[in-house]
Amino acid sequence: MTSTSSAELSDQPRNPQHHFGGTFQKWMQGALALTFIILAIFTLGRFREALVWGIILAIVCWPLQSWLHRRWQGKHAKTLIPLGIVTAIALIFLIPIGAIGVEAASEAQNTLHWINDAQHDGLPPPAWLNQLPAGQAQITNWWQHNLSNPQAENQLMHKLGAQRGLGAAHVIGHDMANGTVLFCFSLLILFFLLHSGETLVVRCLTLSHRLFGPRGESVARQIVGSVRGSMAGLVLVGLGEGALISVSYVIAGAPQPLLLGIMTAIFCMIPMVGSLAVALAVLLILAKGATTAAIAVGIFGALVLFIADHFIRPVLIGGSTKLPFVWVLLGILGGLESWGLIGLFVGPAVMAVTHLLWKLGSTPGTLGFMEEASLEP
């Protein structure tokens, strides 16, 4: 036999079976990895939501942590800075919840006294019934027959069913306990993500480049920009709207202005929903007989909501990702319906990535996402 040089061997065509075997192994490795990823997500159960919330909070808090690290590089800064951020977030959520709990307990006590008095003496027709533009006689007659008469009122309360109220209270208590557990786990996940953030960012970018090529980093940046824009456009703008409108509640003498203000801020985080809280406040002020103050609160609230929802919010959410307003609105509302509260951030992120892929694939003179990825060695 004659010896074959390495150059001659390199010129010979590769074995097709060997090439097929390598391709098959790559596909099987990908299928195995995908299978275990799906199993891991399934195994998390209800804690999937806590994981997603932790990731969202980590994306939002990362610039703050980087800023703090640049100004303090002490021995324990890597641990104390994430711990301080997590503690601050916990207080931001717990203080309003505690205020709502105190107000709710006080209102519950007053409501029990009101129900006891109503069962013994009945409820006289309120003065604002006489100010209604239409239907005064019919509503007053119904009120006198069903609420002013103690016996008729007791029958009405019996028809409503006390057991239903107890059942609803049990469901609310269970949901609150479940939400508290998920919130604690979200903060725990947030701490570890911030603590090991630099290593995780490098690994995520490396994995993205290996799987999707250079475009993978563009998609990641689009997701990050969308999440931060959603936090600014939804949460911060909602809190600002709630604070401004709460001032009008105090000036107008609305009942429980603190509780109404917190509820308004929560409702304002969702576009076009804050008007429900303002309408409720207007009705409560009208019930006190302050018609002028109620009209003023309604006009001021509508003006604040209009400016925030049509000018400020679209810029903050869609500005960093160049996302059109209609895509932003569909992402928020569709995400809320499909994913629940977490969809406020997941929905815009999905729409931002979809819009990016649309631009990459439809813009003349540019390579599509899959075409550029196929050029990777």
Cβ-based burial of 304 (10 A; exposed 0-12, middle 13-18, buried ≥19): buried
Burial of 149 by CB count in 10 Å (0-12 exposed, 13-18 middle, 19+ buried)? middle
Domain ranges, ordered by start, for the chain: 46-195, 214-369
- Run of H or E residues at 255: none
Tell me the two tokens of residue 298. 């309604």
Q: Return phi, psi of residue 75, to 5°.
A: -65, -40
**pLDDT at site 61:** 92
Determine the pLDDT at residue 116. Answer: 66
Answer yes or no: pTM beyond 0.95.
no
pLDDT value of position 2: 46
Per-residue pLDDT of the chain (377 residues; tens, 9 = 90+): 444 454 454 454 555 555 555 677 878 887 888 898 889 888 888 888 889 999 999 999 999 999 998 888 878 888 899 999 999 999 888 777 776 666 666 666 666 666 666 666 666 666 666 666 666 677 777 666 666 666 555 555 555 554 454 454 455 556 667 778 888 899 999 999 999 888 888 888 888 888 787 778 888 888 888 888 888 888 888 888 988 999 999 898 888 787 888 888 888 888 778 889 899 888 888 877 788 888 999 999 999 999 988 888 877 877 767 778 788 888 888 888 888 888 888 888 888 888 888 887 776 765 555 454 444 44
What local confidence, expressed as pLDDT, does residue 1 receive?
A: 44
Amino acid at 279: A
CA 189 vs CA 195, 196, 197: distances in Å: 10, 11, 11
Question: Which tokens belong to 135?
Answer: 């239907």
